[in-house]
A and B are shown apart, each in its own frame.
Chain A
Amino acid sequence: MTPSDTRQPQAWTRESIQREVDALKDEPGAMLPILHAIQNRFGHVPDAAVPIIADALRQTRAEVHGVISFYHHFRRHPAGSHVIHVCRAEACQAVGARQLEAHVKARLGVDYHQTTRDNEFTLEPVYCLGNCACGPSIRVDDTIHGRVSAAKFDTLVDDLTTTVVEVKG
């Protein structure tokens, strides 16, 4: 199987969110570190986190919501088992990213910011992964792949959705 990040997000409770917030709230400029910690652990930033963060940082809920909604990285709802980012930026465009993007959408049957019906994949755009000499590039969870053709993408998806049973002879 592809060595991608397969950490499963945990289910959140108010108490577990509170613990993440308390661990970081006294850092200078604690907002982004807190949001990252919550999303890393629970897979998204639940709405229930907003008043907890607001309270800890002495800000309004509107301000917290404003920060979450400003940054593309933070999501308010759970993602699929794997998040696939397709690079849409110029260096990848120059080697066929537009065609790859069309193939990915067709293969998964979703558009950007959507999750497949089986809850396996969430598709997101990304503007540069820093792999610009070996594009087109995609990121699957925390693993970046280069020179991704339609066929290579299909193999990746198949690998992620297939459980390999090793039979030892």
Chain B
Amino acid sequence: MTVTVYVPGDTTALAMGADVVAETIERTARHQGAAVTVIRNGSRGLFWLEPLVEVATAAGRVAYGPVEPGEIAGLIEAGLFEGRQDHPLALGPTEEIPYLKNQQRLTFSRIGVTDPLSIDDYRAHHGFAGLERALTLDAQAIVDEVKTSGLRGRGGAAFPTGIKWQTVHDEPPGQKYIVCNADEGDSGTFADRLVMECDPYMLIEGMTIAGLAVGATQGYVYLRSEYPVAHRIFNDALGRAYAAGYLGDDIRGSGKRFDLEVRLGAGAYICGEETSLLESLEGKRGMVRAKPPLPAIKGLFGRPTVVNNVLSLAAVPFILERGAQAYADYGMGKSRGTVAMQLAGNVKRGGLVELAFGSTLRELMEGFGGGTLSGRPLKAVQVGGPLGAYLPESQWDNPIDYEGFAAFGGVVGHGGVVMFDDSVDMGEQARFAMEFCSVESCGKCTPCRIGAVRGVEVIDRIRTGTDSDANLELLSDLCETMVDGSLCAMGGMTPFPVQSVMQHFPDDLQPRQV
């Protein structure tokens, strides 16, 4: 009987050597005359265990990890192909690993389970069931489902997705667009990447449903050029979806049409801002547009456009298949459903944690993450990307929901959780926030373009002890100007990490002892 072995093929597994692991397993099996099929699945999102090798057994899949190529001979000798669990790398049944078992995976239920490119696998795990239901509904009914689910934009702005769809739906018929924002530039985030690399048909399905809902026949995925693996896998999936009739001018014989294309960005963080993204898609410099007009009314090429993050669109197939209420049953307050939190930075057990809104940072960082990788005490955590505040320990017990975080100046954003141990110099982090903005500002508005450069200079003066008190006051002023006077969130939120350092870690901004 042929043994099925799974070796993930997402960016992180590959970065940790998964290709060599897969090749070594295949080669060794051949030498031994063992009948083994290696499937390149997606990652389960348990990154500290990558490459995580799984073997199918009569009792379900069992896991081993992290597997280095040099350990494969020993693993096989210890009964890898029989799924024996005597080896030190044996982790038992995959689904029983607490990190995975304790999650509520609605959107990410298939990642790591399936072969990302297999449409049969996808269909066998509820895939395209949401689309099939959507094809039986009229457009308004689809919009209503998404509204009732309470889904809010997972890119960071948390705007109600259903309301955005309604606006585009209500525009007069004509060319409309679905644009997926896959310019996942926030450090500490990789959930969009996981969708595109590990479950690409889910995004294709979500975008197609969006097209049916608002009357759009063309979709674009704007993908960052820093994700070559996602580009390769997603493009492959697109071709297969076309071939199987899930895209094109007659979706599964319904007579409905939807075309989808991937467009690559070119290394500009600002293009994650929706209007800048649209400019870039149109072939221009990624300069932010003033709003209004909203993209929902005048978006891509001046036409009504839904711009949604990957995770918002990826949540849609579940909502259509199981019904809005099934999604809305999760969460707290006005934050409904689940949120994909991503544990990153100095963390012992980094990876993807999908949970209903309402858990806490402490639960994530200590319960799931197991504390720091270095073993030193945690000092600060940056949530929500480079524009998110650095949170001190006093804020780790607040429940994670949009309103709750906003109340104390935090940002859930795209769900990135970047952990730092006590060796971090928070003054350096504040400086970096300004430096990053100076590199990535589109340059359209003055507070952002000039403010970021001045911000670096002022922080340098504070840290070298040049008139520190006056310069601290100047930095406060500058931050206020940027927050109030910038055109978009880039300049408007860059001060958040800086202000949080001033407030919670003031000692680190003091002149440094030479």
Residues 420-450 (chain B) with a chain A CB within 8 angstroms: 420-421, 424, 428-429, 432, 436, 439-440, 442
- For residue B342, which residues in chain A have a CB less than 8 angstroms away from its CB? 132-133
Q: Which of B189, B190, B266, B420 has the most CB of A within 10 A?
A: B266
Q: Is the CB of B14 within 8 A of A71?
A: no
Q: Pick from A31, A89, A144: contact of B283, CB below 8 A.
A: A31
B345 nearest in chain A by CB position:
A94
B residues near A, CB below 8 A? 11-12, 14-16, 19, 47-48, 50, 184-190, 193, 225-230, 263-269, 280-286, 301, 342-347, 350-351, 373-374, 382, 386, 416, 418-421, 424, 428-429, 432, 436, 439-440, 442
Residue of B15, B264, B301 with most chain A CB atoms under a 10 A cut-off: B15
The 3 closest A-B pairs by CB, nearest first: A133-B350, A31-B283, A89-B187
The total of chain A residues at the interface (CB under 8 A) is 45
Residues of B within 8 A of A94 (CB): 344-346, 418-421, 424
The closest CB in chain B to the CB of A90 belongs to B187
Given contacts A144-B11, A144-B14, 17 further A-B contacts (CB under 8 A): A29-B281, A32-B264, A36-B264, A70-B268, A70-B442, A72-B267, A73-B225, A89-B188, A90-B345, A90-B418, A95-B346, A129-B226, A131-B11, A131-B12, A132-B189, A132-B416, A139-B226
CB-defined A-B contacts under 8 Å, sample of 16: A32-B265, A63-B284, A67-B283, A71-B265, A89-B386, A89-B436, A90-B429, A90-B432, A91-B418, A93-B429, A94-B344, A94-B419, A95-B374, A130-B184, A131-B190, A134-B50
Q: Are B285 and A93 in contact (CB under 8 A)?
A: no
Residue of B12, B228, B283, B421 with most partner-chain A CB within 10 A = B283
Q: Are A134 and B346 in contact (CB under 8 A)?
A: no
Residues of B within 8 A of A81 (CB): none
Q: How far is the CA of A73 from the CA of B16 in the complex (A)?
A: 25
Which chain A residues numbered 43 to 92 have a C-beta less than 8 Å away from chain B? 57, 63, 66-67, 70-74, 85, 89-92
Contact B228 A36 (CB under 8 A): no
Separation of A134 and B507 alpha carbons in the complex (Å): 30
Establish whether residues A147 and B16, one from each chain, have CB atoms under 8 Å apart when the complex forms. yes
Q: Judge if A142 is at the interface, Cβ distance under 8 Å.
A: yes
Contact A144 B429, beta carbon cutoff 8 Å: no
Interface status of A103 (Cβ within 8 A of chain B): no
Instruction: Confirm or deny: A30 has a beta carbon within 8 angstroms of a beta carbon on chain B.
Output: yes
Which A positions have Cβ atoms within 8 angstroms of B? 3, 28-33, 35-36, 57, 63, 66-67, 70-74, 85, 89-95, 98, 126-135, 137, 139, 142-147
Q: Which residues of A contact B226 (CB under 8 A)?
A: 85, 126, 128-130, 139
The chain A residue sitting closest to B48, CB to CB, is: A133
Cα(A31)–Cα(B228), bound, Å: 20
Q: Determine the residue in chain B with the shortest Cβ distance to A5.
A: B228
List B contacts of A139 (CB < 8 A): 226
User: CB-CB < 8 A to A30: which residues of B?
Assistant: 283
Of the listed residues B48, B185, B285, the one surrounded by the most CB atoms of chain A closer than 10 A to its CB is B285
B438, chain A: closest CB distance, angstroms: 12
